[in-house]
Amino acid sequence: MFFQHVYDKTLAQASYFIGCQKAGVAMVIDPKRDVDTYLEIAKQNNMTITHVAETHIHADFLSGARELAALTGAKLYLSDEGGPDWQYEFPHEGVKDGDVIKMGNLTFEVIHTPGHTPESISFLLTDHPASSKPVMLFTGDFVFVGDIGRPDLLEKAAGIKGTQDAGAHQMYQSIKRFADLPDYIQVWPGHGAGSACGKALGAVPSSTVGYEKIRNWALQYNNNEPGFVQYLLADQPEPPKYFAMMKKLNKVDRPLLTSVPKQQKLSTDALVANLQKGIKLIDARNKTEFAKGFIPGSLNIQGNNAFATWAGWFLEYNEPFMLVASDEQIDDLTRKLMRIGLDNVLGYVNDVTDWAAQTGQKLEQVKLLSLDEFKEKKEANNLQVVDLRGAAEYNSGHINGAEHVFVGTLEKNLDKVSKERQVIIHCQGGDRASIAYSILAKHGYNNVLNYSPGMNEWVNTGNPVVSEN
């Protein structure tokens, strides 16, 4: 058997390439949308991708299953569980609990594992030349290392009322079934640490059923379903805004993107003209560079591992946008954007100073504060301190007197940020504060100071916090 774990650290998303070397055929489970990765693996190992499978209708990334099937002629194996509201709306081979998919000397048994979503399935792999017993379980968003999938996304992100409680109870039953599996079976989940699909995902890529029985909190609630449900639904991170669109696009028949687009480099004239039309400019530079000078109205979303997630919070799927990025960076950013279906990139520019030279306008700068300056201003009256982190982060410990406004929903809550008083914003380490500063500057706030080192510096230098818990 050939096996390769493909991990997209930007979305903390795992996919799997499993091949039968004797037959020269392979299956890909939960592929990302830039599918050239899998085509290259197949080419390097002299295999043909004949099977493509998904564990469920994904919310956090745009699946590349259909793109990969279109390019290879592979058959799509997708869940037919969950009832009529949870069916894929394009041609596929439907599978249900107990079905067995044969591929060369390998078999994949389908196990219905609802909870995260009603249609969720896992694949139990047996490598027959090696053993008649199963060896690997591909769990998707069912069981992670140290955590399990959250059942609240359908309600919080997709707006499907009444689903989170039902999902939590379904998850309890699915976990009991998981606990009945042999301890030696390897567990290969759909996500790792950093994903918004859970609240305490482990950093190692895989586990075993036996190990999860020992360390995973969800398997400690024997005969305590109410306690399990309560803990599962508590303190889940805010689901990114784009999750609702992912649910739709992964279910319906949509246009395919079978190669990574090459982005157009824009002239300064084109940049100026597009800005005058109101087209958004996403500045993907590091927050330190952005702070030194940025085009008024631009939004700083750094091109790091969180780039796609924050872009999904602040960009609409039907709107074109532009990027500030280096030539070396643009392919990586394009891949990150296409993985969540943000394809309307008009082009990019390298240098913001060209805009200033052509328009005769000044670049804006971020007003930064040191720790000592923050402490001094904090003692003054008529000051507002805004903590931009998630609710669970804020509740677990924040600076006394700080008000909470989550950065992802800041534009909908501008009324909570004063335009009359001095405002100091902060987050954990500065990335989210840079996003927020650019949003507030765009909306005419000229009274904002950024304590960029945030809670990391505040706590590490021994300063007190208060808790809402």
Which tens digit of pLDDT belongs to each residue from 216-228?
999 999 889 999 9
Considering only residues 207 and 199, tell me which one the structure prediction assigns the higher pLDDT. 207
Residue 198 scores a pLDDT above 70: no
Q: State percent of the chain over pLDDT 70.
A: 98
Question: Cβ contacts of residue 154 below 8 Å, gap of 6+?
Answer: 59, 117, 160, 163, 164, 167, 247
Mean pLDDT of the 11-15 span: 96
Q: 327 in the Ramachandran plot: left (φ > 0), alpha (ψ -120 to 50) or beta? A: alpha
Quickly state the pLDDT bin for 362 (edges 50, 70, 90): very high
The conformation of residue 32, written as its DSSP 8-state character, comes to -
pTM for the whole structure: 0.94
Mean pLDDT of the 181-195 span: 92
Cβ density class 436-446: b for 16+ within 10 Å, e for less = bbbbbbeeebe
Which tens digit of pLDDT belongs to each residue from 63-115?
999 999 999 999 999 999 999 999 999 999 999 999 999 999 999 999 999 99
Run of H or E including 347: strand 345-349
Residue 62 scores a pLDDT above 80: yes
Quickly state the pLDDT bin for 196 (edges 50, 70, 90): low
Quickly state the pLDDT bin for 238 (edges 50, 70, 90): confident
Nearest to 172 by CA among 129, 201, 138, 143: 143
Question: Cβ contacts of residue 263 below 8 Å, gap of 6+?
Answer: 323, 330, 334, 345, 347, 348
What pLDDT, on a 0 to 100 scale, did the predictor assign at position 98? 98
Q: Please provide residue 212's backbone torsions phi and psi, each rounded to the nearest 5 degrees.
A: -65, -30
- CA 354 to chain centroid, in Å, comes to 34
Kindly report the average pLDDT of the chain as a whole number: 95
- CA 447 to chain centroid, in Å, comes to 32
What pLDDT, on a 0 to 100 scale, did the predictor assign at position 229? 94
Residue 463 scores a pLDDT above 90: yes
Which domains does the chain show, CATH number per domain? Answer: 2-249 (3.60.15.10), 268-359 (3.40.250.10), 371-460 (3.40.250.10)
Residue 130 scores a pLDDT above 70: yes
Which tens digit of pLDDT belongs to each residue from 141-175?
999 999 999 998 877 877 777 789 999 999 999 99
Q: How far is CA 458 from CA 65, 315, 395, 426, 449, in A?
A: 45, 32, 16, 10, 16
What pLDDT, on a 0 to 100 scale, did the predictor assign at position 199? 64
What is the rounded distance in angstroms from the CA atom of residue 77 to the CA atom of residue 56?
11
What is the rounded distance in angstroms from the CA atom of residue 221 to the CA atom of residue 356?
61
Residue 194 scores a pLDDT above 80: no
Mapped to the 3 state alphabet, what secondary structure does 224-261 carry? CHHHHHHHHHCCCCCCCCCHHHHHHHCCCCCCCCCCCC
For 170, the 3-state DSSP assignment is helix
What pLDDT, on a 0 to 100 scale, did the predictor assign at position 154? 77
What is the rounded distance in angstroms from the CA atom of residue 379 to the CA atom of residue 222?
51
What helix, strand, coil percent values describe the chain, rounded to 5? 30, 20, 45
What is the rounded distance in angstroms from the CA atom of residue 34 to the CA atom of residue 340?
11
Task: List the structure tokens of 452.
Answer: 């960029």
Mean pLDDT of the 12-31 span: 97
Quickly state the pLDDT bin for 197 (edges 50, 70, 90): low
Mean pLDDT of the 383-389 span: 97
Residue 469 scores a pLDDT above 80: no
Quickly state the pLDDT bin for 193 (edges 50, 70, 90): confident
